[in-house]
Structure 1
Amino acid sequence: MSSNIDKNKKKLDRLEKQALGENQRIIKPGECMKYMTVEIDSGCLSVELLGTSITSVLATNQIQYKIRSNLIQHSVIWKRTLPQNLISSSQNELQLSEKIVQEKVLLLLMPAKDFIQHVKSKSLLNEIKTIQQMFSSDYTFELMICGLKSYCTRNRGAVGRTESEFALSEIQLQANCCHRLLESSEEVGQVIQQYTKSIAERPYKEQKAEKYEKENFYLGNDSKDCVRVQNGIGLSRLWQQQLIKLPNVTLEIAEAIISKYPMPILLVEALEKSDSKETLLADLSIRRAGGPLTTNRRIGNELSRKICNLFMNEDPSSNI
């Protein structure tokens, strides 16, 4: 009896790991776009500037989309399909059922004519706030004004530039709603494509950032100029590399410092004991090259002060 329970437990553990691996796979760049659907309000297709060119851009880039009647007219929203992992204890099998999640981002595509009317009646801020009240406070809203430049060219004097800029500044400051000015349906399609990619990759990037924040050291994306240290071998090279990373520190300067202080701790101890910390390294001689015509020069007061500041200053906001 107990052996059967152990077998079932091991099988369920294995299935859980498989489910976790599947969840990680679908949020990775390259895979995540397959699980995104753009839902475009049907009213967008009747707008002169927009039309079906938007969907052509999305189809060309293999982005899934739906034309439907959204809650907000002329809006674009995103939905993500997630596998909801269910483990059946009776059959010991992993079952996946789709779960649709709406992303908390909304684009409002406003034709230039509607924007001009809101500016004239000073109702743009109220319009944006009314829309925001229909959603939770953690939603992001972006206003896309379509064809404003061409509309103003055809209808000169329709509205003043100062009035338009004031209305846009007002919604940004009071409603935290940014805006873009778009002049073609291709631009609108490209913006929707950019947002789709950004929204799709957000869970992966947030997970990656959270992981790095927990680390106590900096993790680079490449191994350029890295020094391998093993069993104490490579420490001198690492110390040299650390010094060279400092501004104005050449290989010759680093070698001069290392010849006097082979390890960082020795330099720190010398600085702590010195009465003239900032000039401790100033008189160190730098040998430029070999041969009878070789000239020597000093590290100098300025670089000595900067190196002292780097190792001794405890203020994190201080400039080196």
Structure 2
Amino acid sequence: MCDTPIQISSDDSESSNDSIKNLPSVDFHSSFSSDNTASSSTNGSRLTTRTTAKTKKKKYAPKTQKKATKKKSVKEKLTEQKAAKTKVQKLNKIYRPGECMKFIEIVMHPTFLDKWYTEDLENEIHMGGVRILSSSDLFEPGLVLWRRSVPSSLVSIYGQVNNTSPEERCDRGLYVITAQDVVTYVCEHTLVRHVAQIRDMADVKLTLVIFGVQDYFKHARKKSKQNNDLVMTEMDLEMAITDLLVSTGCDAVLLDQSIELATLIMHFTKAIALAPYKKAKRECDEQAEFYMRGYNKKCVPVDKDGNGISRLWQQMIAVLPYCSLEKSRALCAKYKTPLALYETLQSPEGVRAVADLGVTRPVIPRSRVRRIGPEFARKLQILFTAEDGNTLID
């Protein structure tokens, strides 16, 4: 081995130093960290793509659910509206005039039709198209009630879904009693208490019907004097009926023939059947500022084919103040429609043309020829051509 040291010349050293200086500087920490960051970025990008996909799914899932719930809610609303519409149509059919009598039933005791004063009742009821329902549950044989058949619906009661009753009880009732049976109540002053008990038990507005009053007053006095029975006078009966009306609010009807009883029951049946329709009609009329159904005087009917329009046009002119029937006939003969009169009155010479129109008068000897006149023609022009609805016609 030689221990001679190696000598480097200055030129060589400078070149070597230059070469060392010119070498690219490499940072091992930075390279290592960059490799790690690259790998982590790739992994992170995968994670972020996965997380974004998951978040996208999470973001869009509630929207689809909301759309589905919205569609369901819209469908449910439509079905509810259809169900409500069909229910209203059925109820309108039940309460409509002409159809309402088919859904009414008269509830009577089985022994009521066997009475001698109800011989014409069954035929009259069948002719009216009403059904009779015999019920032995009635506590009083002379009681007559009504009920209506209605469509049943689902109702939740205390968390349980049940069907409503297909029958609707009416709040009116009749209590039929003969004059012979009412004598004891009138003479003992217990008629008010007896009728009030029946009214409270039936829970209806009751009307007392007393049958055969004239026959009782004709024949009962002689029999009562012979047998020492209770005698009822006409004054006693009137006082008892007045006391009944004042104390309980129950009215009374006196009848003497079986056909009158049948007619009375049918009148009550028709009134009960039409009561909901008339009530709704009255509520609708009360919402208006004036009663439109009262303005039905001198009306002119017009059919589907248009027959009666000319008479209606003539009536429209005749109802104007200071217009006679002859003037309206003359105007309608010249101007067949309101449009023709309107176009004439809009022209500059329209008022003069209408004013010079001749009016035919009845055949009167030595009668002068009349005209419409400028004053009435001017009023017609204001009526037909004024654009302001508050214009006064003086």
Question: Do these two structures clear the TM 0.5 threshold for a shared fold by scoring above it?
Answer: yes
Partner of 2:74: 6
Amino acid at match of 2:218: T
Give 2:299's aligned residue: 224
Higher strand share goes to which structure? 1
User: Which residue is equivalent to 1:47?
Assistant: 115
Instruction: Determine the C-alpha separation between the residues in 2 that align with 1:60 and 1:240.
Output: 45
TM-score, structure 1 length as denominator?
A: 0.64
Partner Cα separation in structure 2 for residue 188 and residue 119 of structure 1: 22
Unpaired stretches in structure 2, ≥5 consecutive residues:
1-67, 156-162, 223-230, 302-314, 329-358, 371-394
Quote the Cα distance in structure 2 between the aligned partners of 1:13 and 1:222. Answer: 41
Name the CA distance, whole Å, in 2 between partners of 1:212 and 1:33: 24
* Alignment match, 2:64: none
Higher-Rg structure is 2
User: Which residues of 2 match residues 1-320 of structure 1 at below 5 A?
Assistant: 1=68, 2-50=70-118, 52-69=119-136, 70-86=138-154, 99-134=166-201, 136=203, 139-156=204-221, 158-217=231-290, 218-219=292-293, 220=295, 224=299, 241=319, 243=321
Deviation, structure 1 residue 239:
8.7
Describe the superposition over 1:166-224 as per-residue Cα deviations: whole angstroms up to 9, x where unpaired: 21222123322222222233221221111111100100011011101101232446881
The 8 Å contact of residues 106 and 140 in structure 1, kept in 2 or not, is answered as yes
Equivalent-residue separation in structure 2 for 1:11 and 1:121 (angstroms)? 63
Change (3 A) 1:197 1:181: same
- Closer/same/farther in 2, CA of residues 4 and 160 from structure 1, 3 Å limit: closer
Shift of 1:251: 6.2
Q: C-alpha root-mean-square deviation of aligned residues, in Å?
A: 3.8
Give 1:224's aligned amino acid: C
Q: Distance in 2 between matches of 1:293 and 1:193?
A: 60
Moved over 6 A (4+): 237-240, 251-254, 287-292
Higher relative contact order (CA 8 A, sep 6+): 1
**What letter is aligned with 1:126?**
R
Distance 1:19 1:183, change over 3 A: same
Aligned residues: 246
Shift of 1:109: 0.2
Cα deviations across residues 26-45 of structure 1 (Å, max 9, x unaligned)? Answer: 10011111111100123423
Q: Provide structure 1 residue ranges, at least 5 long, that are not aligned to the other structure.
A: 88-95, 227-236, 255-286, 297-320
In 2, distance between residues paired with 1:14 and 1:34?
A: 25
- Counterparts of 1:8 and 1:97, CA distance in 2: 22
Aligned AA (1:213): E
Q: Equivalents in 1 of 2:215, 2:243: separation in Å?
A: 23
CA contact (8 A) 1:42 1:74 kept: no
